Amino acid sequence: MLINQFGEDVCFTYPSDRKKSQMVFRTNIQCAEVVETLRSNDPVKLCAEKLRIECESFDFSLDNSYCDASDIALSLQQYEQNRPDSWNVFFDTLLTHRKMKSDHAKRKCDNIFQTVFNLVHNGKKKTPMHISIAQTIHDICRSKQLILTKV
């Protein structure tokens, strides 16, 4: 179909890693244009934008609940099953050199996701970690003055 549309000016690239997408481009594009396009894209910014978009679209489903132990357990279970793909790739790439595949490392990554989620939503959406911390402090000292909440 692409060849019918654009003629013989279409080139297909086939990566050696099957997990990577094939690329299609027109062969009549100048090399300088390709280099300038690559140079003008900041990979760190693109990565951060993609991670932010996934944070914005994710939902822990705690906003309209009592946030008791069963609600938090259900929220964490749903998070485990629907963890954003880009975040999995990000953490796997970040921790590859350390071979950190333990439950302890995974839990730390989940806490980082929840912290960034909280920042992206400006603290307006609840996360299991933030609810659990507040409940733990309250259970230990039984003082609601220590638990700061936004009204």
Are 51 and 112 in the same domain?
yes
Q: Assess if residue 67 is contained within a domain.
A: yes
**What sign does the dihedral 39-45-49-51 (CA atoms) show?**
positive
Could you tell me the pTM of the whole model? 0.68
Q: pLDDT band at residue 139, thresholds of 50, 70 and 90?
A: confident
| Res 15 pLDDT > 50 | yes
Structural domain that includes position 104:
44-146
> Looking at residue 53, what is its pLDDT?
95
List, in sequence order, the alpha helices (H) in the chain. 2-6, 31-40, 43-57, 69-82, 85-94, 103-120, 128-141
Are 94 and 141 in the same domain?
yes
d(CA 109, CA 28): 45
Q: How many residues does the chain have?
A: 151
Give 51-104 pLDDT, tens digit per residue: 999 999 999 988 888 888 899 999 999 999 999 989 988 888 887 766 656 777
Are 37 and 21 in the same domain?
yes
Domains identified in the chain, total number:
2
